[in-house]
């Protein structure tokens, strides 16, 4: 019981800096090492500072935010061009389909990096200092409820 009373919370991490580093595709801890081993595969650990990055659970959030942002930009531009110039349908397809694909592919890694940085800064999903005892008893370690502490 006395050990719990003397426990001090870990130091706070700068959320904005971690998300910015992640958005730059760098390690959220040091801002130097590469976050991704390939297009969207997060490195096991940072090659510069050694911070473990394999704990991330970004799941469906990066595509969701990408679709949300790209959809709002493309639909707004499409409507603006339609109202101003009344172009034929083939021109709409020639403009908006490639723009949608290019924007989605360009935005997905920085958005995922930012979310991994957010998880690191908030010590979510294994990025905390203490080991999670519940993970050893978990029959499906790939699934973690949002409501778990």
- Read off the pLDDT of residues 104-135 as tens digits, 9 standing for 90 and up: 999 999 999 999 999 999 999 878 766 444 44
Q: Give mean pLDDT, residues 5-14.
A: 82
- pTM, 2 dp: 0.80
**Residues 10, 93: Cα–Cα separation, whole Å:** 52
Task: Give Cβ neighbours of residue 39 (< 8 Å, ≥ 6 apart).
Answer: 109
- Read off the pLDDT of residues 41-69 as tens digits, 9 standing for 90 and up: 999 999 999 999 988 888 899 999 999 99
- Read off the pLDDT of residues 64-110 as tens digits, 9 standing for 90 and up: 999 999 999 999 999 999 999 999 999 999 999 999 999 999 999 99
């Amino acid at each position: 019981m006395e050990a719990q009373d003397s426990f001090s919370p870990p130091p706070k991490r700068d959320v904005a800096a971690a998300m910015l580093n992640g958005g730059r595709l760098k390690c959220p801890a040091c801002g130097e090492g590469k976050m991704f081993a390939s297009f969207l595969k997060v490195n096991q650990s940072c090659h510069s500072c050694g911070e473990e990055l394999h704990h991330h659970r970004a799941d469906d959030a990066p595509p969701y935010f990408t679709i949300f942002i790209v959809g709002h930009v493309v639909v707004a531009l499409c409507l603006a061009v339609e109202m101003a110039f009344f172009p034929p349908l083939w021109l709409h397809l020639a403009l908006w389909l490639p723009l949608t694909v290019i924007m989605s592919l360009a935005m997905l890694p920085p958005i995922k990096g930012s979310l991994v940085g957010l998880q690191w800064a908030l010590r979510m999903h294994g990025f905390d200092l203490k080991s999670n005892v519940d993970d050893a008893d978990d029959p499906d370690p790939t699934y973690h409820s949002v409501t778990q502490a």
